[in-house]
Amino acid sequence: FYPLDFTFVCPTEILAFNDRIEEFRTIGAEVVAASVDSHFTHLAWVNTPRKDGGLGTLSIPLLSDMTHKISKDYGVYLSDVGHSLRGLFIIDNRGILRQITMNDLPVGRSVDETLRLVQAFQYTDMHGEVCPAK
């Protein structure tokens, strides 16, 4: 989840994940970005070139949560401002929620750490061992 389209931090996160999507797909993971903006706003953002503050062509989907239901269900919706926190959820291939990261609005998320976490969960599932931070 990300707060809003056409903002400053959000495109840096989306483009960072998008630019490394093949690394996620190689390990059997997908990335979906969601905000409370409409699909029309998403389309306008994707159709705006990066140099003009847009996203340009993406390889990851942008989900529209205009009713705020999904954001509320995941606990990231901020009713006082009408959009979500930066929420990242790792859900494994069995549908089990393995990890939650929620950042306050000014701080973006790390693609490297997300990849490390997905790989760590896959490793521990496969080998039945623990995975230290380093």
* The amino acid at 77: Y
- What residue has token string 């996160």? 13
Please determine, for residue 134, whether its predicted confidence score (pLDDT) is greater than 70: no
Q: For residue 134, give both structure tokens.
A: 């380093």
Average pLDDT, the chain: 95
Q: pLDDT tens digit string along 67-126?
A: 999 999 999 999 999 999 999 999 999 999 999 999 999 999 999 999 999 999 999 999
Please determine, for residue 23, whether its predicted confidence score (pLDDT) is greater than 80: yes
* The amino acid at 105: L
Asked if 69 and 98 touch (Cβ cutoff 8 Å), the reply is: no
Which of the following is catalytic: 5, 10, 37, 84? 10
Domains of the chain: 9-127 (3.40.30.10)
Can you name the residues that pair with 97 across neighbouring β-strands? 91
Q: For residue 12, give both structure tokens.
A: 């840096």
Catalytic site residue 10?
A: yes
